[in-house]
C-alpha cells in the first residue's frame, strides 16, 4: 500500500434543500461541508501538472452543483452522495466527509454526520 496524501477542504458553506420538515422542503438552508480526500500526490508533485492531481477546484464545483440540484430528505443520503461523487469521479481512493446543518437544533451550533468511504464501497 502506497502512502495516502490528503487534500483538505474546510468549511465549504453551501445552500440547499435538505430536511424532512415542510419548511425545509421549500426554503434553502445552510449546509456546511468538510472533506478529507486521500490521494497519491507523487505524480502531481513530480510533473507539476494539474492533470496528475486530485483537482480540488473541480471537485468543489461538482459538489456545489450536486448540493444545489439535490433535495434530499436526510443528511445521511446527501453526505453519501457527496462521497460517492468524490471517489468515483475523481482520483481519490478514500474520503472522509462531514456534513452539518448549522442552526438545525435550538441549543446547538450545528448538527451533522460524518462518514468515511473508499472507492471500493461503490464498485459492486
Tens digit of each residue's pLDDT (9 = 90 or more) over 24-82: 999 999 999 999 999 999 999 999 999 999 999 999 999 999 999 999 999 999 999 99
The confidence score (pLDDT) of residue 2 equals 59
pLDDT digits (tens, 9 = 90+) for 67-119: 999 999 999 999 999 999 999 999 999 999 999 999 888 899 999 999 999 99
Range of the domain at 43: 5-122
Count of domains forming the chain: 1
Instruction: Please name which of 33, 122, 121, 42 lies closest in space to residue 79, comparing C-alpha atoms.
Output: 33
> pTM above the 0.85 mark?
yes
> Is pLDDT of 3 > 90?
no
Helix axes 75-89, 56-69, angle to 10 degrees: 140
CATH number of the domain encompassing residue 20? 3.30.1130.10
Length, in residues, of the chain? 124
Amino acid at each position: 500500500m502506497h502512502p495516502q496524501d490528503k487534500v483538505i477542504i474546510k468549511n465549504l458553506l453551501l445552500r440547499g434543500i435538505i430536511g424532512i420538515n415542510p419548511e425545509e422542503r421549500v426554503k434553502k438552508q445552510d449546509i456546511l461541508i468538510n472533506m478529507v480526500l486521500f490521494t497519491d500526490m507523487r505524480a502531481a508533485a513530480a510533473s507539476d501538472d494539474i492533470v496528475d492531481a486530485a483537482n480540488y477546484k473541480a471537485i468543489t464545483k461538482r459538489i456545489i452543483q450536486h448540493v444545489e440540484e439535490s433535495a434530499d430528505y436526510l443528511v445521511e443520503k446527501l453526505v453519501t452522495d457527496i462521497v460517492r461523487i468524490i471517489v468515483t469521479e475523481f482520483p481519490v481512493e478514500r474520503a472522509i466527509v462531514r456534513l452539518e446543518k448549522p442552526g438545525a437544533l435550538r441549543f446547538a451550533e450545528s448538527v451533522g454526520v460524518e462518514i468515511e468511504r473508499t472507492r471500493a464501497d461503490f464498485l459492486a
